[in-house]
């Protein structure tokens, strides 16, 4: 059997599509197979379209070179590699041989003919049979999913990019783009790892605290295609939001307004009520975005189950969440809940907003306030920033006008995620930020124009549709869920006890080892006991796995130091000594993690059981106000705020003067930032009961919150009324010129001069027409501009440049002469005019131009020689005539 048939037989079973491609009639004529100096080891030479010849492997020792190259790469089990370029497969084969089990290798080969040649010439079974090697072919390879899978499987994963230089020479553009993607995806793994390392415990606590709310929230699957074809405006909190925030009032009911959590503190005071708010932030500081914000119950929330729990409880309206979250704890708990669907949360809350809009079928999807850059050292609009810029992290990106603007690593990564999502989206993507970083795949537009062109639609009860969608909650297997939670809690008890037992035994072993007493009977008994306890600990695999994210530092340590291989050491004494060292690091950390996990888990179990008991004992029609009040108290004790308030309202419906229920209502209203309602209840209480310290404190808290919000609202309204600026058509046209949308630029600038003809308007129209290859139209516009303002040196110069381009040198000379007369300091115009003079032998005039240039740049000593030479030629001409 030939190498080709042997290799294809393996590929056929694993990747039939690739096998079919390799069996097709591929043109391999540009690849020449050559013998090397090693017997039966070929190399290959490729002829590029330019005629250049590229040798893919050296003639002397192709395999030895591959071995030496493979030795420079670390192929740890928990990591992965992206190999750019296959050649004849020698390097790939050596990497596959060297890689530890589980080390994923993604090989990208831009030229299918190259891979077929390799399959024809070399036995590649080690590469093709590996479960951890994937070969992807083509110039544009969507291999991000492979890296994502690697990151999901191993939190500690690191992805190395291995570029095979000869292959890269064959197609530097394709491999350069693939390398950029691989590095960005690798950065994503690092950022996610750092987030987990820093906040794993916080995220674990949030997920457990949120879980009752998750159970009572509607799944995002009920939002799928809910607003098919309806525009969505995604409101982020970047500095540019200040410019157009007032326009959002026009969009209510016409487009789905999805705001990130940070923006809400600005929108509500300005009378803008978004349809949906999104939140994913797990940090406590996130609650400052909602602290003292009276969130209207008509606003829906879409949240990540690991978001900060107080932020999620602050919302009174419909709440939607996901089941499909790539975290261990929700994956465990949600197996007992009917699927709620999922959204790609990306790396920021704005990515979640985009994913949500796409999920709901919105089109177009419009970004607003999504700067991802800070030209004025401002991160957010108004006073929304909760953190300061770290200028040490400052980088530069291209803005929507093609100019450099300040950004930072996390923003660049967010841009990459957006661009990847845009490429996968059929809907039209519009960037109406009007500033900030460029995002490939999004068309820059002014929000005013987006509203006029896409949002002239009949009004829709968007909030009503969301309210209806939020009425359905997925069923839960409560009994099975609680039994499993009890089991895991008991497992944590065992882990803590067994960790302490192991540490006690390993401490005794350590003393024996230090004294050199490793041969006596007691040491053997202790060793055997330690082995039994270790095996017992291994039996808690599921509980240990669940602890991994919140005990991530330990998991990282274990991976990096390869401590798992200690158990494979054959020399008994050395193995035991290293096991004792490992125990001193591992078991204290495991015990702490189990205790830290068990506490909120037990609290969650208690909350769910008490809620289950309350739901199993519904109150009948004969229930009294006191019965409902006591039910409200019971719900309040387990932080079921909505149910507590509903119970209190039932109590007050039966007895409006029930003082304890009124007091509880005040507390619950304040917890939900519903200060107006709290004050109304306090007013009722004044006539029903004597004031006491507790009631006075509640009244003071309500008044302070209410006044603070009213003050903020008045301040922002006054501040933003002064910021409203209606752009002229000329300004709008120039915006589109700068964003290279020349068709729109011409249209708007032409309208602008019809309404109000100015020299500047005609000048800009001329430039825009020139970009549209409308040269005659450009000249016509510039002539109109000069008729209004004959001092525009820039326009004479532009017309001179155009005349030069068209070969009309006499015209060009006349225009440039006028440009130089009007603007004596234009170095470029003088230089162009000098060349025209030289061309027709006007040496004196050319010399005068060079003198003007020398005046502007005195350090140009070459001009002195040019001037002297020109005057000499002028004198010579004069004397010979």
- Mean pLDDT of all residues belonging to the chain: 87
d(CA 743, CA 169): 39
User: Is 70 exceeded by the pLDDT of residue 147?
Assistant: no
Sign of the torsion formed by the C-alpha atoms of 516, 517, 518 and 523: negative
Instruction: Look at residues 471, 414, 415 and name the one whose alpha carbon lies nearest to residue 441.
Output: 415
Confidence tier at 131 by pLDDT (50, 70, 90): confident
Confidence (pLDDT) at 825: 92
Structure tokens at 763: 């000048």
* Rounded-to-integer distance, Cα 320 and Cα 301, Å: 6
CA–CA gap between residue 861 and residue 564 (Å, rounded): 72
Q: What's the pLDDT band for 224 if we cut at 50, 70, 90?
A: very high
pLDDT tens per residue across span 845-856: 888 888 888 888
Structure tokens at 870: 């020109």
SS3 percent helix, strand, coil of the chain, rounded to 5, is 60, 10, 30
Model pTM score: 0.80
Angle of CA points 684, 687, 688, to nearest 5°:
85
Burial class (CB within 10 angstroms; exposed 0-12, middle 13-18, buried 19+) of 785: buried
Region 262-279 average pLDDT: 94
pLDDT tens for 585-604 read 778 888 888 898 999 999 99
The radius of gyration of the chain from alpha carbons, rounded to an integer in Å, stands at 36
- Do residues 82 and 73 lie in contact, with contact meaning Cβ atoms separated by under 8 Å? no
> What's the whole-number mean pLDDT along residues 221-234?
97
With cut-offs at 50, 70 and 90, classify the pLDDT of residue 553. very low
Which pLDDT does position 514 carry in this prediction? 74
pLDDT at residue 392, rounded to an integer: 63
Percent of the chain with pLDDT over 70: 89
Kindly tell me if the per-residue pLDDT of 839 is higher than 70: yes
Range from 153-167, 172-186, 530-544 carrying the lowest mean pLDDT:
153-167
Q: Work out the burial of residue 442: count CB atoms within 10 Å of its CB; fewer than 13 is exposed, 13-18 middle, 19 or more buried.
A: buried
Question: Rounded to whole angstroms, how far apart are CA atoms 456 and 117?
Answer: 58
Residue 450 has, within 13 A of its CA and on its CB side, a CA count of: 30
pLDDT above 90 (res 723): no
- Which has the closest alpha carbon to 788: 763, 805, 770? 763
**Looking at residues 69-77, what average pLDDT do you find?**
82
Q: Does residue 489 have a pLDDT over 70?
A: yes
Helices 827-839, 843-856: axis angle to 10 degrees equals 160
How would residue 563 be classed by pLDDT, with cut points 50, 70 and 90?
Answer: very low
Examine the pLDDT at 196 and tell me if it is beyond 70: no
Q: What residues does 218 pair with on adjacent strands?
A: 320
pLDDT of residue 747 exceeding 80, the answer is: yes
* Structure confidence at residue 561 (pLDDT): 41
Which of the 8 DSSP states describes residue 161? E
pLDDT tens track for 396-409: 899 999 999 988 87
The region of weakest confidence among 192-201, 485-494, 839-848 is: 192-201
| pLDDT of the residue at 188 | 65
- Confidence (pLDDT) at 566: 44
Task: Please confirm whether the linkage preceding 364 is cis (ω < 30° from 0).
Answer: yes
Query: Span 418-423, mean pLDDT?
Result: 92
Total residues found in the chain within this entry: 881
How far is residue 335's CA from residue 479's CA, in Å, rounded to a whole number? 13
pLDDT at 354: 97
Please give the C-alpha separations between residue 275 and each of 230, 376, 462, 823, in angstroms, as whole numbers: 13, 30, 7, 56
pLDDT-based confidence at residue 78 (cuts at 50, 70, 90):
low
Q: How far is CA 399 from CA 154, 406, 444, 643, 768, in A?
A: 35, 9, 11, 49, 20
Contact 474, 339 (CB under 8 A): yes
- Looking at residue 259, what is its pLDDT? 97
Q: What is the pLDDT of residue 42?
A: 93
| pLDDT score of 569 more than 60 | no
pLDDT, tens only, 369-401: 999 988 666 777 877 776 666 656 678 899 999
**Calpha distance 300→353 (Å, rounded):** 13
In the prediction, which pLDDT does 771 show? Answer: 95
Residue 283 tokens, joined: 């940090």
| High-pLDDT (> 90) share of the chain, % | 55
- Average pLDDT on 684-701 reads 87
Residue 238 tokens, joined: 């970047």
The answer on pLDDT for 515 being more than 80 is no
132: confidence class by pLDDT, cuts 50, 70, 90: confident
| Least confident range of 626-630, 691-695, 702-706 | 691-695
Return d(Cα 351, Cα 280) in angstroms, integer: 10
How far apart, in Å, are the Cα atoms of 748 and each of 461, 467, 773? 34, 41, 17
What is the pLDDT, as a whole number, of residue 198?
Answer: 58
- What count of Cα atoms within 13 Å lies in the side-chain half-sphere of residue 304? 30
Angle between the 625-637 and 659-671 helix axes, to the nearest 10 degrees?
30
**Would the pLDDT of 366 be above 80?**
yes
Per-residue confidence at 190, pLDDT binned at 50, 70, 90? low
Pair 219, 475: CB distance under 8 Å: no
Residue partners of 335: CB distance under 8 A and separation at least 6 = none
Task: Look at 146-150, 163-167, 455-459, 777-781 and tell me which has the smallest mean pLDDT.
Answer: 146-150
Give me the pLDDT at residue 574, please. 60
287 or 739, which is more confident:
739
pLDDT of residue 711: 93
**Above 60 in pLDDT, residue 881?**
no
| Mean pLDDT to the nearest integer, 719-739 | 89
Handedness of CA 438, 442, 443, 448 (dihedral sign): negative
Nearest to 375 by CA among 350, 346, 347, 401: 401
Average pLDDT over residues 662-690: 91
Under 8 Å between Cβ of 716 and 266: yes
Question: How many angstroms separate the CA atoms of 764 and 751, rounded?
Answer: 12
Q: How many CA atoms lie within 13 A of 201 on its CB side?
A: 13
Binned at pLDDT 50, 70 and 90, residue 303 comes out as very high
């Amino acid at each position: 059997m030939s190498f080709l048939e042997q290799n294809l037989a393996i590929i056929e079973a694993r990747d039939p599509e690739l096998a079919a491609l390799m069996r097709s009639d591929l043109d391999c004529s540009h690849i020449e197979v050559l013998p090397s100096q090693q017997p039966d080891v070929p190399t290959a030479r490729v002829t590029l379209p330019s005629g250049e010849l590229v040798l893919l492997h050296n003639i002397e020792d192709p395999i030895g070179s591959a071995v030496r190259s493979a030795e420079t790469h670390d192929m740890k089990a928990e990591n992965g590699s992206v190999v750019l370029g296959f050649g004849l497969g020698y390097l790939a084969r050596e990497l596959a041989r060297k890689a530890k089990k589980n080390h994923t290798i993604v090989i990208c080969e831009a030229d299918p003919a190259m891979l077929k040649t390799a399959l024809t010439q070399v036995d590649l079974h080690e590469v093709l049979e590996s479960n951890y090697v994937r070969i992807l072919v083509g110039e544009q390879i969507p291999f991000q999913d492979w890296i994502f899978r690697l990151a999901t499987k191993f939190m500690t994963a690191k992805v190395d990019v291995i570029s095979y230089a000869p292959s890269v020479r064959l197609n530097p553009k394709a491999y350069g783009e693939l390398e950029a993607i691989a590095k960005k995806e690798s950065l994503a793994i690092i950022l996610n790892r750092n987030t987990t390392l820093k906040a794993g415990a916080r995220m674990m606590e949030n997920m457990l605290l949120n879980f009752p709310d998750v159970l009572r929230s509607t799944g995002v699957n009920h939002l799928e295609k809910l607003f098919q074809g309806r525009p969505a405006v995604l409101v982020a909190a970047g500095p540019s939001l200040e410019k157009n925030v007032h326009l959002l009032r026009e969009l209510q009911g016409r487009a789905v307004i999805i705001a990130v959590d940070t923006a809400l503190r600005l929108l509500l005071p300005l009378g803008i009520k978004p349809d949906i708010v999104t939140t994913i932030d797990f940090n406590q500081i996130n609650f400052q975005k909602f602290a003292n914000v009276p969130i209207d119950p008509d606003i829906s929330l879409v949240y990540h189950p690991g978001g900060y729990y107080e932020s999620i409880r602050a919302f009174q309206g419909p709440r939607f969440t996901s089941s499909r979250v790539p975290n261990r704890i929700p994956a465990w708990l949600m197996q007992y809940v009917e699927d709620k669907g999922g959204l790609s949360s990306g790396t920021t809350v704005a990515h979640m907003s985009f994913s949500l809009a796409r999920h709901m079928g919105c089109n177009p999807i419009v970004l607003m306030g999504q700067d991802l850059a800070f030209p004025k050292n401002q991160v957010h609009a108004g006073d929304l920033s909760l953190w300061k810029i770290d200028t040490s992290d400052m980088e530069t990106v291209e803005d929507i006008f093609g100019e450099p603007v300040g950004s930072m690593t996390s923003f660049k990564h967010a841009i990459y995620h957006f661009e990847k999502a845009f490429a996968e989206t059929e809907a039209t993507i519009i960037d109406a930020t009007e500033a900030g970083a460029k995002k490939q795949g999004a068309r820059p537009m002014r929000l005013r124009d987006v509203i006029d062109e896409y949002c002239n639609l009949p009004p829709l009860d968007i909030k009503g549709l969301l309210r209806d969608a939020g009425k359905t909650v997925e069923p839960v297997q409560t009994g099975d869920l609680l039994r499993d939670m009890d089991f895991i809690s008991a497992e944590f008890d065992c882990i803590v006890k067994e960790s302490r037992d192991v540490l006690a035994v390993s401490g005794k072993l350590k003393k024996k080892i230090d004294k050199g007493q490793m041969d006596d009977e007691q040491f053997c008994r202790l060793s055997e006991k330690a082995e039994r306890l270790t095996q017992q600990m291994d039996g808690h695999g599921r509980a240990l796995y669940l602890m991994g994210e919140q005990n991530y530092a330990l998991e990282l340590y274990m991976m990096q130091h390869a401590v798992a291989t200690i158990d494979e050491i054959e020399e008994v004494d050395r193995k035991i000594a290293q096991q004792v060292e490992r125990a001193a690091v591992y078991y204290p950390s495991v015990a702490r993690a189990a205790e830290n996990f068990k506490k909120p888990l037990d609290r969650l179990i208690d909350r769910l059981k008490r809620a289950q008991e309350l739901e199993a004992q519904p109150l009948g029609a004969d229930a009294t106000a006191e019965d409902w009040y006591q039910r409200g108290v019971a719900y309040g004790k387990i932080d079921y705020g909505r149910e507590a308030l509903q119970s209190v309202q039932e109590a007050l419906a039966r007895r409006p003067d029930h003082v304890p229920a009124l007091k509880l209502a005040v507390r619950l209203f304040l917890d939900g930032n519903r200060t107006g309602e709290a004050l109304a209840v306090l007013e009722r209480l004044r006539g029903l009961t004597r004031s006491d310290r507790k009631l006075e404190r509640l009244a003071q808290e309500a008044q302070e919150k209410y006044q603070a919000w009213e003050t903020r609202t008045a301040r922002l309204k006054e501040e933003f009324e002064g910021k409203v600026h209606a752009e002229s058509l000329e300004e709008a046209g120039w915006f589109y010129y700068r964003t290279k949308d020349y068709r729109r630029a011409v249209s708007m600038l032409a309208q602008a001069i019809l309404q109000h003809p100015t020299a500047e308007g005609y000048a800009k129209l001329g430039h825009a027409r020139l970009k549209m290859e409308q040269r005659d139209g450009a000249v016509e516009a510039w002539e109109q501009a000069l008729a209004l303002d004959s001092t525009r040196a820039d326009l004479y110069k532009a017309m001179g440049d155009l005349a030069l381009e068209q070969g009309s040198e006499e015209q060009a000379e006349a225009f440039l002469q006028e440009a130089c007369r009007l603007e004596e300091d234009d170095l470029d115009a003088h230089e162009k005019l000098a060349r025209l003079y030289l061309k027709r032998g006007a040496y004196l005039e050319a010399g005068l131009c060079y003198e003007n240039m020398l005046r502007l740049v005195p350090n140009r000593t070459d001009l002195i020689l040019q001037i002297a030479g020109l005057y000499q030629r002028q004198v010579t001409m004069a004397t010979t005539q």
